[in-house]
Amino acid sequence: MRRLNSVIQPITAGIRRYSERDFDALVCRWHETNVASYPYVAAHQRHTLDDARTFFREHVVASCEIWGAHDCGVTLGLLALEVPWIRQFAVFNEFQRRGVGTALLRKARDASPSELRLFTFKRNLKARAFYEKHGFAAVAFGRSPAPEHEPDVEYRFPSDTTRGVHARPR
């Protein structure tokens, strides 16, 4: 990490398209981040790295355009987009609050300029604050499907909530 007088400095993340050579390192970090970020979701705590690899390959790689944030050869986070839905969005813990999420969100807006949508857990207050800071509005509250069964929030950007809410894709 770059520090100046004990202040964490922003990172200028390079964003590039996922390639198969990224798979192992990316999934390992994504899995670690999910386990650390969601201690209240039993399903995430039970998932093994092998479970994460299977899910990522069968559900994320198979249906999403994936982008990674990188700095000096280190992967900082990821964006998985199935326009207009952000299916996966993660900034690895030690790189949070340093501009990485903003850079990934910029890539999502470039890929889907008219609309972005996503779900996050209702209890994920850090993510909710991040999305709201970046112009997303909560448009629906519900419960995530199995195996989580966790209260969640649907967000939309732009925050024009006058359009009808679409059916809940999962």
The CATH number of the domain holding residue 51 is 3.40.630.30
The domain total for the chain is 1
pLDDT, one tens digit for every residue, the chain (170 residues): 444 444 567 777 799 999 999 999 999 999 999 999 999 999 999 999 999 999 999 999 999 999 999 998 899 999 999 999 999 999 998 998 889 999 999 999 999 999 999 999 999 999 999 999 999 999 999 999 988 999 999 999 996 654 444 444 55
* Domain assignment of residue 153, yes or no: no
Give me the residues paired with residue 4 across strands: 7
Q: Under a CB-based contact definition with an 8 Å cutoff, are residues 131 and 141 in contact?
A: no
Separation between Cα atoms, residue 153 and residue 120, nearest integer Å = 6
pTM: 0.86
* Domain assignment of residue 94, yes or no: yes
Q: For residue 80, give its domain range.
A: 3-114
* Domain assignment of residue 169, yes or no: no
